[in-house]
Amino acid sequence: MCLNYITNETCRDCIATAAQDILQVCPNTREAVVWEDECQLSYSNQNFFGQVNVTGNILGLDNKQNISQPEQFKSVVKETLNNLTTDAAAFNLSTKLMYATGEAAFEDKTIYALVQCTRDLSGDGCNSCLQTAITDVLNCCYFSIGARLLSRSCYLRYELYSFYGHTSKSPSSTNDQGASGGKKMRIIITLMVVSACFALVLFACFIYCLVNKKARVRKGISRQANTRIDADFPRIDFASIQAATDNFSDSNKLGEGGFGPVYKGILSDGKEVAVKRLSCCSEQGSEEFTNEVLLIMRLQHKNLVKLLGFCIDGEEKLLVYEFMPNRSLDVFLFDRSRRAQMDWNKRVNIIGGIARGVLYLHEDSRLRIIHRDLKASNVLLDYDLNPKIADFGMARIFAGTEGVKLIPPKLQGLLVTWLQNMLCKECILLSLMCLALECS
């Protein structure tokens, strides 16, 4: 509803502003009403046409200066508003303006008053709404020289100065305004819907990119085929490993372990490595296998054989370790000529190094790992005969096969795990004692 004295252009601008304000101030509400200076806009999820609604009336004082004789002033204002109410409610069916303005003298001043109802009301409905408004405004503000009341169904205002024009819009101009206003509202609503859909699409794209980025981060290592050894890119392509081992030639074969044969290889940068070609059937898929290998690669200790990289190519799964030139401890212990190379200092150093590596696996590493296959063949020696434990973490990769037992920290409070942990520690202590006897 626009106040009847404003122009069509002013009405359109006012309604457009109200449409923006009502969406900002009252988002996601089922019903709302907003009053601008010269218009009102409301919506609801229930039919309110033709119904008088005087709930939530808003009273406003345009001038807080008080009148000198409030009771006489109240009487004149009441009479003026009642007369205007009669005129507005007795509307002409052809025009149905439901609007009236008037003036009244008070002492040496002039009172200017205006009343208007929404045009969906009947004459009785308009009269009822304005009578309630008059009662409310006089009870509140009869001592003020100016006031207004904003209702969902009607509007009134009085001042001691002229605030309205003296020409009313003709019915034809009113109809033009309604058509133009409705068209503009449809345009505004259409733009809002399109903007909301566009924002929704952008939000969906953002979520998709975010999820896709996280998936790429999780799977990035398994998707890369990098031929160089690097902590950030531990995966090596199968062709490079084939070339490094001369297509897994028997001449490069170092031995046969519990999980498959081991080959010596030389990468393109000249680095010597040991390649374990896994022959056991892992119960895990490629992604799980990759994650477990990366987990084992985090274990770093001077008495552990360093896992440098891995490869997945179809059914082929390979682990690339640092190369140990002196093979395993059993080669020295059970060979008379090589056994002579190990004096007591070296033997004590070997036993101490094995113990430090086991302690790291059991107590100091991020994972609690119990190596249940600790033996001389799983202890490798570098150039200086320093010991390094091999084949730790293989049970995790092969999901329950022989070798080692990983005990996740979250399960350590369970009695069964505690008993198993204690038994495994007893076993590893026995294994260390056996190795000490073999080295003596």
**Any idea which residues carry the catalytic annotation?**
373
Contact 433, 355 (CB under 8 A): no
Helix or strand holding residue 266 (H, E)? strand 260-266
Burial classification of residue 243, based on how many CB atoms lie within 10 Å of its CB (0-12 exposed, 13-18 middle, 19 or more buried)? middle
The DSSP output letter for 391 is S
Burial classification of residue 353, based on how many CB atoms lie within 10 Å of its CB (0-12 exposed, 13-18 middle, 19 or more buried)? buried
Which strands form 109-117's sheet, in the order they lie side by side? Answer: 58-66, 144-150, 154-159, 109-117, 99-106
3-class secondary-structure state, position 225: coil
Identify the CA nearest to 403 among candidates 431, 379, 373. Answer: 373
Q: How far apart are CA 391 and CA 78, in angstroms?
A: 100
Q: How far apart are CA 321 and CA 299, in angstroms?
A: 13
